[in-house]
């Protein structure tokens, strides 16, 4: 049987299962979880809609082809002393002494398995930096800075902050363990033009992933949080990602996206394509705590979710006001071709700025090809991506 046929069969099984039950019950079975992961991959990149464009396959480029067994890193971080440095910050200090970007060459930092309790800042002069770990939940960068108890500004809470362009990362976990009481507590903050993050995990509660500015692409990542946990004002596309909503405090609501577009001419927004929105294990079966897809952080907030599997725990209204009727006429929110128990738009918010796209042409402006013009720079990494709808 061909791989395409197998993918199609998995897709049909997933759709049938989703229609009958919903993920909250079925995810209790580890066997079903494996099947839905495979089926969702088929959904995201094998179902064709209209005049969709073919996805690009890995081409052996550096981010995907680099292998610790036979590839060379400029810096190796290992807590046991087997590398060039024992901490990430020591490696970055050594890099900084060379002039940061080493004459515009790609610099590779390999971080071996371990838990690195560090506040990391990639300065602007450290362009074209590539971080590679030993895998999600094996190489972990952790911290617990937060706004409530420590009094930091939101951007200062980031466990790992990136200010240099051309940042790439693979096979790492970035976390902030401040918990649901810490309010703003960022795990990863990125202000990096043409940044690509692949097979990484971001764990936090409020404000986990801060896509602060510039063009960014995330592929095959896991994102955990409670309130506004994907937020910022970058032009960003997330493809084939798993978005896990955690259990908040009893008096809180969950909100996934808080996009911060300030003006109508800004080419920014958050685009979620071919992904999965699910409850985290600690939130499965929890009742009376509503969860929403997003809310408008700024006046011209813009978020589009399409070709995505949305679980039934999402509130039927889908979207939550920020403060009464503020921004509801100027925001731009849209959904298209989603599946799952939470994908119905029948009872969605009746706002002037909310749209249900009728065709792939309406969703096309929010793709890798048109929204972030990613064909040339993502292909350099070797990471798979889908150009269109």
List the catalytic residues.
228
**Token pair of 234 as six digits:** 């970058």
- Dihedral (CA of 244, 298, 248, 138) sign: positive
The sheet carrying 195-198 orders its strands as 75-77, 107-111, 129-132, 168-170, 195-198, 215-219, 235-239, 269-273, 302-306, 332-336, 354-356
Per-residue tokens: 284: 């499965």
- What are the residues whose beta carbons fall under 8 Å from the beta carbon of 52, sequence distance 6 or more? 360, 388, 389
**Rounded-to-integer distance, Cα 52 and Cα 324, Å:** 38
In DSSP terms, 218 is beta-bridged to 197, 238
Alpha carbon distance 299, 259 (integer Å): 10
Closest of 120, 111, 119 to residue 84, by C-alpha: 111
In whole angstroms, give the CA distance from residue 220 to residue 212: 20
Q: What is the DSSP string of 261-290?
A: --STT---EEEEES-EEEE-GGGTT--S--
SS3 309: strand
Distance (Å, whole) CA 226 – CA 206: 5
DSSP-based three-state secondary structure for 351 = coil
Give yes or no for a contact between 92 and 60, defined as CB atoms under 8 angstroms apart: no
């Amino acid at each position: 049987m061909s791989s395409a046929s197998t993918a199609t069969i998995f897709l049909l099984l997933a759709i049938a299962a989703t229609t009958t039950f919903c993920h909250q019950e079925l995810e209790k079975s580890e066997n079903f979880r494996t099947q839905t992961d495979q089926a969702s991959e088929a959904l995201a990149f094998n179902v064709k809609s209209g005049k969709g464009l073919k996805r690009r396959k890995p081409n052996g480029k550096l981010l995907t082809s680099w292998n610790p067994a036979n590839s060379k890193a400029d810096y190796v971080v290992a807590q046991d002393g087997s590398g060039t440095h024992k901490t990430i910050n020591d490696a970055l200090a050594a890099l900084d002494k060379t002039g940061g970007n080493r004459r515009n060459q790609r610099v590779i930092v390999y971080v071996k398995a371990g838990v690195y309790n560090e506040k990391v800042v990639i300065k602007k002069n450290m362009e074209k930096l590539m971080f590679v770990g030993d895998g999600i939940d094996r190489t972990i960068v952790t911290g617990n800075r937060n706004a409530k108890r420590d009094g930091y500004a939101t951007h200062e809470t980031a466990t790992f902050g990136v200010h240099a362009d051309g940042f790439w990362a693979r096979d790492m976990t970035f976390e902030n363990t401040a918990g649901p009481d810490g309010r703003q507590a960022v795990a990863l903050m990125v202000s990096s033009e043409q940044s690509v993050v692949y097979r990484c995990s971001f764990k936090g509660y409020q404000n986990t992933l801060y896509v602060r500015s510039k063009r960014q692409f995330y592929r095959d990542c896991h994102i955990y949080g409670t309130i506004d946990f994907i937020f910022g004002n970058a032009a960003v596309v997330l493809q084939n990602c798993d978005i896990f909503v955690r259990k908040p405090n009893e008096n809180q609501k969950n909100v996934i996206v808080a996009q911060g577009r300030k003006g109508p001419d800004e080419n920014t927004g958050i685009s979620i394509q071919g992904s999965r929105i699910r409850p985290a294990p600690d939130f499965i079966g929890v009742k009376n705590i509503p969860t929403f897809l997003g809310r408008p952080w700024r006046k011209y907030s813009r978020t589009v979710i399409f070709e995505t599997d949305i679980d039934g725990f999402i509130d039927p209204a889908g979207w939550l006001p920020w403060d009464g009727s503020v921004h509801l006429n100027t925001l731009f929110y849209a959904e298209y071709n989603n599946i799952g128990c939470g994908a119905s738009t029948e009872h969605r918010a009746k706002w002037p700025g909310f749209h249900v796209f009728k065709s792939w042409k309406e969703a096309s402006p929010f793709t890798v090809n048109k929204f972030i013009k990613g064909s040339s720079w993502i292909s350099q990494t070797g990471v798979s991506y889908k150009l269109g709808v």
